[in-house]
Amino acid sequence: MREKPNTITYRVNSPLVASVSAQDGRARFLAIPSGSVIVAPLELDPLGLVDVECEGKTLSVFTRDIRERAERIDDAKQGVVP
CA distances from 51 to 11, 45, 62, 63, 64 (A): 15, 11, 9, 9, 13
Quick: pLDDT tens for 10-27.
999 999 999 998 889 898
Quick: pLDDT tens for 48-76.
999 999 999 999 999 999 999 999 997 54
Helix, strand or coil, per DSSP, at residue 65: helix
Q: How many residues does the chain have?
A: 82
Question: In order of start, what are the domains of the chain with their CATH numbers?
Answer: 7-76 (2.30.30.40)
Per-residue pLDDT for 9 more than 60? yes
| Residue with the larger pLDDT of the pair 29 and 1 | 29
pTM of the model: 0.80
